[in-house]
Amino acid sequence: MHGSVPLPLELADNVAWHFHDLAKSRTVDRPPAEGEVGLWLITSEFRFASASNIGSWLSVAERKRARLYPNSAIGRRFGVARATLRLVVSQMFGCRPQEVRVEDAPDERIVVKDAAGERSVGVDVSYSGIWIVMAVASADVGIGLSVDAPGAQGAQIALVEAAHIASQRAGRGEGAASSTWHGLVLPMPGELRGVVAVDRPVSEVHAFGWEKQIKANTDV
């Protein structure tokens, strides 16, 4: 239960949250350990993902995909998200952003491996308006985002919907066999609700880009 809302997953208990400035993203130099989740909240104007970065870090297919979006702002958002993903994971694997192997699998699933294709991390990226949310873990992971519905119960309805989406997205991995997902309610701004589902217990979260005071908004 989250407040009076029954969620379709168990919320992770006794989780240590560590909030960091986005600039600290460059200090992440290893993949998440067992029980650890890395989260990023960025916008399509994230300064580390400049036009130059997007042009040099993305693959030919990714650059083409960004150009083919009917709305240039959405294409820019995809490019920023993918460039940021490559930056973060490249530091974990000790390679260049353009050397990270990123494969777009069915159902919007992203498969990410190191330059040699020997090591991998669980990744999901989700969007809502200008916001981009990215999760990296040593497990199958999914992100659900939803905007408050009208009415007094609107935030609760959105939270339940976000939890359903997160569970579905986390369950896309070929090795996903968990029937009980461990959920993290994200401290999202405004009327946006977010949940991350992980198929293993979570004990520690490193969150980049969140203001600490937003954390109170996880209670609805």
- Residue 5 has a pLDDT of 58
- Residue 115 has a pLDDT of 94
- Residue 150 has a pLDDT of 87
pLDDT in tens, the chain (220 residues): 455 557 778 888 889 999 999 888 888 999 999 999 999 999 887 776 666 777 789 999 999 999 999 999 999 899 999 999 999 999 999 999 999 999 988 878 899 999 999 999 999 999 999 999 999 999 999 999 999 988 888 899 999 999 999 998 988 655 444 557 899 999 998 999 999 999 889 999 999 998 754 443 444 4
**Domain ranges in the chain?**
10-209
Structure tokens at 184: 């993290």
DSSP state of 214: G
CB 111 within 8 A of CB 103: yes
- Residue 25 has a pLDDT of 85
Report which of 102, 104, 69, 70 is spatially closest to residue 83, judged by C-alpha positions. 102
**Please, what sign has the CA dihedral across residues 204, 207, 213, 219?**
negative
Query: How far is CA 14 from its chain centroid?
Result: 21
- Residue 36 has a pLDDT of 96
CATH of 10-209, one of 1.10.15.40, 3.30.460.80, 3.20.20.70, 3.90.470.20: 3.90.470.20
- Residue 9 has a pLDDT of 83
